Amino acid sequence: MTSTKPYLLRAIFEWAEDNSFTPQVLVNAEADGVEVPQAHVVDGQIVLNIGSSAVRLHVMDNECLSFSARFSGLEHDIYLPMDSIMAIFARENSQGIFFEESDSDPEPTPDPEKPSKSSKSAQPTPIKGKADSTAKKPSHLKVIK
């Protein structure tokens, strides 16, 4: 199964462009395969404007984001593997998606012979701090696979 990350990246990019926002990506500049101007990296990260008015977009597919952009007047080819992209958001209002590390890796297909963590109990966990004297009834819903 492929990761949802590249699809979400393209969706937020398109949403930002449609609403005249500036789409930006937060990148782990220390990830394998990342090609960015190191002079602009701060604490191992870099924020890049990927708006169509700022860059010449070459590729935005399931593997990478690649484009040309100017930094201090010099054109640079930028290459960002999908795993290196930590977030995409609009500069103007910070709305977007911040990915967790696990978002970049597709879920492994479960082995039908091994019990999964979610199949151990279908009962909800009571919330601590609420009135413990009122015990919750187990759910009438069943997990269907």
Amino acid letter, 87: A
Q: Is the pLDDT of residue 66 over 80?
A: yes
Which CATH entry fits the domain spanning 5-104: 3.40.50.1950, 3.40.50.10860, 2.60.40.3500, 2.30.30.220?
Answer: 2.30.30.220
Is residue 134 over pLDDT 50? no
Q: How far apart are CA 16 and CA 30, in angstroms?
A: 26
Quick one: pLDDT at residue 58?
85
pLDDT one-digit tens code per residue, 6-64: 999 999 999 999 999 999 999 999 999 999 999 999 999 999 999 999 998 889 999 99
The residues, ordered by sequence, that sit 6+ positions from 22 with a Cβ below 8 Å of its Cβ are 16, 49, 51, 54, 90, 91, 92
Q: How confident is the model at residue 145 (pLDDT cuts 50, 70, 90)?
A: low
Query: 100 falls in which pLDDT band (50, 70, 90)?
Result: confident
CA distance 125 to 92: 40
How many residues are given for the chain?
Answer: 145
